[in-house]
Amino acid sequence: MQAFAVSQRIRSSTLQIVLTLVTSISLSQAVPTNVQSEIYRYNEVDPIPGTEGIDAGPDANLRGLQLGYAWLRSTNLTRADFTGSTLTGAVFSFSRLTDASFVNARINGANFWNTTGFTAEQLYSTTSYQQNDLRGVSFGPIDLAGWDFHAQDLRGANMHRAVVTNSDFTDALIEGMVINEAVGLTREQFYSTASYKNKTLRYIDFVTDKNLAEWQFVEQDLSFSHLGITDLTRANFTGATLSHTRLGGATLTDTNFRSAIISGADLSSTVRKGFTPAQLYETASYQQRDLRDVDFSFNDLGGWSLSGQDLKNASFRYSDLSNTEFLDADISHADFSRSNITADQLASTASYQRLDLHGLNLTGVTLNDFDFHLQNLTNAVFGYTPTDCCEESPDIRNVSFANAKLNNARLEEFRSADQQDGFRTVDFSGADLSSAHVGDFARDAKFSADTTYNQWTRFPPGFDPVARGLRFVRSADGDFDGDGQVLNDDLQALIDHRGSSDLKYDVDRNEIVDHSDVVAWITDIKHTQVGDVNLDGRFDELDLMVVLQIGMYEPDRYYLSQPNADWESGDWNGDGYFDAGDLVFAFARGGYRQPARAAHTVPEPTGVLLCLGGWMHVWSLRRSTTRHALTA
């Protein structure tokens, strides 16, 4: 019965979300564009309906109004009356709020940054406070000393530079909260929160020079949190989840990372501040050979052992890799730009041995007499970029790319007049240059009749591939890297180029590259449904399981300071997040459990809601189980 009740509550919550979205859409369509008003929303050009003739100023009567996202910045609102008004997301920053009334007002998401006259009593009088819902409210840098936030939902709230001396955070939810440079914050206050007790501190922003030495983070989930620049000397992260946590520049002397998960973590510029190979080796991620997406940039890693590690998408930019061991490591999509990695180190990797170096970034790396023949170098980068033009040129000569796959690779030169050529005596015999960008050195390179290019290959001005004997092979629509397959890599490339002027990605041919091109790629080129993340031609339970396992679903935007999802992790409507809006966007198109392109009608709302409710129920149970495991 209890499980049934939970399921019913989740379905009710889902229904409320959908109805709210539908109502919002209906209201937005009904608003006339010629209404005269004094108050505007910060993200719209039209005035707020119902505020005609109202001047936002001292003694203004703004009772009972829908003022969500109203722009009231730098305004004297002394004695203004907001009783019973909806102020969700309203901007009051730098305004004077002396004796203003907020009785029974809803203020979640409102911005009170650097206001004057805003008091604890005003806050306590709001409906949001009384319902323990202060999500996303910005309080910095207000003096909040002694204020009572007991049991409040402060997820995504901002207290940057606020004074919180003796403030009560007991049992408060603080996931996603910005508390960098908060004055007077103690470890006792931090430990008293419900989020700390439940070991759920995701998206916390602590970035500052704050001293967190010896703080205890044992088994805490700090995924996507920002702890950069902080002093974490002797802090304890035993068993913690630091996935995609930003620790760049932090002091890590004697910090305990035993059994911690660090995949995706930012560890840039930490070696000079105490981070050692022994600390890396004791992490769960290292022991499980999973260092994917870890940022090791700007570090001296000389002599460290990374043999056998999964280093996909890891970054070693500007790092000293003298005698670093990469034996049998997977380095696809890794970034070695401006590092001193050698040809011998590359040749020792598992990626090189299986002829798969796709996505590798070797910008500015010296590679003399190196053999890349037969390698898959799709999306790889060599040479220089415009920002490197005044640095010492890499020396890349006598390099063989014979029979290599250089699809969508960049082999370009940007150098000043006094720099010598970086690429010399390069062999492209039999190479696939489809969609590649090839620099001026191509004029002196070696080609053969088996060297191929496509409609998107870029050669230097005046270079005639036909005259040089190259063979043209047209790539299929949507195959942006020209590898002969229309896959996820092509979809991600399209997503990454939204907003660009590169009409190569203009799938719907309207001369604009935006999310409509993504939908067109899915439906018109791949002939499948929105929501089909594994691109098997159907949108079904398998796709929901994929996004479930990736775990980027956040029903509450207040957690997130910036977009964090892509197509594969559930961002189907193109806003950078995976939330209820994506589920509605996908289900409303009628493609769930339908054959490819078979459904174009919207299903009955009940069916959609059942799907949504069932999926969110599974997700909720998973999150609950995960948290229980952490606290057990």
Statement: residue 395 has pLDDT above 70: no
In DSSP notation, 55-70 reads --STT-B-TT-B-TTB
What sign does the CA torsion over 336, 341, 344, 348 have? Answer: negative
pLDDT band at 9 (very low <50, low <70, confident <90, very high): very low
- Across all residues in the chain, what is the average pLDDT? 84
Q: How is the chain split among helix, strand and coil, in percent rounded to 5?
A: 25, 15, 65
Residue 411's pLDDT is 86
Q: What's the CA angle centered on 367, arms 363 and 373, to 5 degrees?
A: 100
| Mean pLDDT, residues 9-34 taken together | 36
What's the CA gap between 623 and 614, in Å, rounded?
14
Give the separation between CA 191 and CA 138, rounded to whole angstroms: 22
Mean pLDDT of all residues in 470-496: 90
Give yes or no for a contact between 112 and 141, defined as CB atoms under 8 angstroms apart. Answer: no
Yes or no: say if 156 and 556 are a contact pair by the CB < 8 Å rule.
yes
The pLDDT-based confidence of 41 (bands split at 50, 70, 90) is: confident
Cβ atoms 309, 334 nearer than 8 A: no
* Cα separation, 452 vs 291, whole angstroms: 36
Contacts 24+ apart (CB under 8 A), 512-521: 514/574, 515/573, 515/574, 518/491, 518/494, 518/567, 518/574, 521/478, 521/490, 521/491, 521/494
Task: Look at residue 603 in the predicted model and tell me its pLDDT.
Answer: 47
Residue in 255, 167, 173 with CA at minimum distance from that of residue 212: 255
The residue whose two tokens read 């660090």 is 262
- Sort strands 381-383 and 410-412 into parallel, antiparallel or unpaired: parallel
pLDDT at position 423, please?
53
User: Whose CA is closest to 192, among 158, 169, 166, 223?
Assistant: 169
Cβ(290)–Cβ(314) below 8 Å: no
End-to-end CA distance of the chain, in Å? 24
Percent of the chain with pLDDT over 90: 59
Joined together, the tokens standing for residue 600 give 């174009």
Which burial class, exposed, middle or buried, applies to 127 when counting CB atoms under 10 A from its CB (0-12, 13-18, 19+)?
middle
What value, to the nearest 5°, has the Cα angle with vertex 395 and ends 393 and 401? 125
**Residue % of the chain over a pLDDT of 70:** 81
* Cβ contact 291:262 at 8 Å: yes
Taking the C-alpha atoms of residue 288 and residue 151, their distance in angstroms, rounded to an integer, is 38
CA distance 526 to 163: 54
Distance CA 108, CA 87 (A): 7
pLDDT of 370 reads 87
Q: What is the model's pLDDT at position 632?
A: 39
pLDDT exceeds cutoff 90 at 554: no
Distances (CA, A) of 401 to 372, 374, 430: 5, 7, 8
Burial class (CB in 10 A: 0-12, 13-18, 19+), 446: middle
Place of tokens 């940007």: 414
Q: Which long-range contacts (CB under 8 A, 24 or more apart) does 176-179 make?
A: 176/202, 176/203, 176/204, 176/205, 176/558, 176/559, 176/560, 176/561, 177/203, 177/204, 177/205, 178/140, 178/205, 178/561, 179/204, 179/205, 179/206
Cis peptide before 141 (omega within 30 of 0): yes
Rounded mean pLDDT, 35-63: 78
Give the pLDDT confidence of 332-357 residue by residue, as tens digits: 999 999 999 999 999 999 999 999 99
pLDDT over 70 at 391, yes or no: no
Say which residue the tokens 């022991």 belong to.
Answer: 287
Go through the chain and tell me how many residues it has: 632
Q: Residue 589 pLDDT more than 90?
A: no
Per-residue model confidence (pLDDT) at position 8: 39
- What does the pLDDT read at residue 424? 61
The pLDDT of residue 557: 59
Task: Confirm if 612 and 606 have CB atoms less than 8 A apart.
Answer: no
R_g of the chain computed on alpha carbons: 28
User: Using CA atoms, how far apart are residues 70 and 66, in angstroms rounded to an integer?
Assistant: 9
Spell out the domain ranges in the chain.
2-21+527-631, 357-485
Which tens digits make up the pLDDT trace of 422-463?
Answer: 456 789 999 999 999 998 778 888 999 999 999 999 998 999
> For the residues 189-209, what does the mean pLDDT come to?
91
Does residue 21 contact residue 584 with C-beta atoms inside 8 Å? yes
Rounded to whole angstroms, how far apart are CA atoms 512 and 399? 39
- The confidence band for 419, taking pLDDT boundaries of 50, 70 and 90, is very low
Residue 99 near residue 71 (C-beta atoms within 8 A): no
pLDDT at 390 over 50: no
**pLDDT at residue 153, as a whole number:** 97
Q: What is the pLDDT of residues 234-289, one digit of tens each?
A: 999 999 999 999 999 999 999 999 999 999 999 999 999 999 999 999 999 999 99
Question: Most confidently modeled of 330-339, 389-398, 515-524?
Answer: 330-339
d(CA 578, CA 586): 12
Most confident of the following: 5-9, 322-326, 381-385, 531-535: 322-326
φ, ψ for residue 297, nearest 5 deg? -60, 150
Residue 393's pLDDT is what?
Answer: 53
Residue 158 one-letter amino acid: N
Q: Is there a contact between 479 and 527 (Cβ–Cβ < 8 Å)?
A: no
Span 299-315, pLDDT tens digits? 999 999 999 999 999 99
- Contacts of residue 607, defined as CB under 8 A and 6 or more positions apart, other chains included, come to none
- Averaged pLDDT, 68-86: 95
Alpha-carbon distances of 87 from 26, 40, 108, 453, rounded to whole Å? 20, 13, 7, 57
Average pLDDT over residues 13-18: 38
The one-letter amino acid code at 268 reads: S
Range in 171-175, 395-399, 562-566, 621-625 with the lowest mean pLDDT:
621-625
